[in-house]
């Protein structure tokens, strides 16, 4: 069973540019979450999508956006890049996202490492 | 979600059991305890989770105290490949977003030969 696939794995951009990162979840998983990891702030939640709808959003500026397609694949976009956006961006997928009992296990991808110069 | 407290770092000798503690004194009845680990520069990896009872899988064991205010992750025979940052996370199964996990700073486990 294929895992969570993130592309590209590495990329370098300059300040002011924009970037789009892609995430393909595990087959059958309908929920996709995005996280940013930096040495100073650790792992921070960006947003979560389920059935093409954003279900929750972390405390990030509007420059950070995302979307989910009908096949559950997701993309996130960062516009007007700043030096502080240099980070490892992680995508995670899970099967359940609804109200009710039961645990919800996230499977993470290897991440996309963004360097902003 | 309840806050968790973990030691910043721990050492363990290769082949010995690694016991990683986590305090979650404000945990509520509908919150699970999850453990993830992150090996350097990789995505976090799910290890195990539990609600009330002790749990065991092929990777580890999870011991939850009777009052559920603390837990211990046990790696029975640590290897060098178990060197990683281990995160203890408490998350409820009630509504809304389930993909929002709050990762603290975790415990950096160093397994030494």
Q: With CA atoms as reference, report the closest residue to B51 among B36, B66, B40, B37.
A: B66
B105: which chain A residues are within 8 Å (Cβ-Cβ)?
Answer: 42
B35 and chain A: CB distance < 8 Å anywhere? no
Q: What is the pLDDT of residue A6?
A: 98
Q: What is the pLDDT of residue B30?
A: 80
Q: What is the pLDDT of residue A9?
A: 97
A35: which chain B residues are within 8 Å (Cβ-Cβ)?
Answer: 103
Q: What is the pLDDT of residue A78?
A: 98
Residue A106 has pLDDT above 60, yes or no: yes
Q: Which residue ranges of chain B lie beneath pLDDT 70?
A: 1-2, 93-98
**CA angle, A75 as apex, A73 and A79 as ends, to 5°?**
175
For A10-68, the pLDDT digits (tens) are 999 999 999 999 999 999 998 999 999 999 899 999 999 988 999 889 999 999 999 99
A40 and chain B: CB distance < 8 Å anywhere? no
Residue B2 to chain A, least CA–CA distance (Å): 16
- Spatial distance between the Cα atoms of B9 and A115, rounded to a whole number of angstroms: 28
CB contact under 8 A, A48 and B100: yes
A48 and chain B: CB distance < 8 Å anywhere? yes
CB contact under 8 A, A43 and B44: yes
**Are B89 and B36 within 8 A, CB to CB?**
yes
Query: Looking at residue A26, what DSSP letter applies?
Result: P
At residue B10, φ and ψ (nearest 5 deg) are -150, 150
- Spatial distance between the Cα atoms of A55 and B98, rounded to a whole number of angstroms: 9
Q: What is the pLDDT of residue B31?
A: 86
Q: What is the pLDDT of residue A46?
A: 95
- CA dihedral (B98, B102, B107, B113) positive or negative: positive
From the list A55, A98, A103, which residue is nearest B32 (CB)? Answer: A103
B51: which chain A residues are within 8 Å (Cβ-Cβ)?
Answer: 103
Nearest CA in chain A to B39: A110
Q: What is the pLDDT of residue B94?
A: 57
Query: Which pLDDT band holds residue A100 (cuts at 50, 70, 90)?
Result: low
For A14-28, the pLDDT digits (tens) are 999 999 999 999 999
Residue A76 to chain B, least CA–CA distance (Å): 16
User: Of A86, A105, A112, A115, which to mutate for an interface test with B (greatest number of B Cβ within 10 Å)?
Assistant: A105
Q: Which residues does residue A108 pair with via DSSP β-bridges, in sequence order?
A: A92
More confident residue, A115 or B2: A115
Residue A15 to chain B, least CA–CA distance (Å): 24
The DSSP secondary structure of A37-94, one letter per residue, reads: EETTTEEEEEEEEETTEEEEE-S--TTEEEEE-TTS-EEEEE-S--GGG-EEEEEEEE
Query: Looking at residue B5, what DSSP letter applies?
Result: B
Residue A107 has pLDDT above 90, yes or no: yes
């Amino acid at each position: 069973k294929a895992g969570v696939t993130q592309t590209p794995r590495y990329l370098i951009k300059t300040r002011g540019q924009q970037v789009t990162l892609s995430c393909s979840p595990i087959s059958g998983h309908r929920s996709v979450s995005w996280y940013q990891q930096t040495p100073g702030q650790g792992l921070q939640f960006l947003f979560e999508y389920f059935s093409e709808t954003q279900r929750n959003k972390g405390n990030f500026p509007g420059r950070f956006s995302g979307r989910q397609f009908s096949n559950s694949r997701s993309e996130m976009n960062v516009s007007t890049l700043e030096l502080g956006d240099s980070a490892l961006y992680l995508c995670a997928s899970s099967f359940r996202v609804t109200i009710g009992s039961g645990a919800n296990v996230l499977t993470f991808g290897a991440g996309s490492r963004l360097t902003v110069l | 979600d309840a806050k968790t407290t973990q030691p910043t770092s721990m050492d363990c000798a290769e082949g010995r059991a690694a016991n990683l503690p986590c305090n979650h004194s404000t945990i509520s009845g509908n919150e699970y305890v999850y453990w993830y680990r992150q090996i350097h520069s990789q995505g976090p990896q799910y290890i195990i989770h539990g609600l009330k009872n002790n749990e065991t899988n092929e990777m580890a064991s999870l011991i939850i105290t009777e009052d559920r205010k603390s837990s211990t992750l046990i790696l029975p025979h640590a290897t060098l490949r178990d060197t990683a940052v281990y995160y203890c996370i408490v998350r409820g199964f009630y509504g809304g977003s389930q993909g929002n996990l709050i990762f603290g700073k975790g415990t950096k486990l160093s397994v030494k030969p």
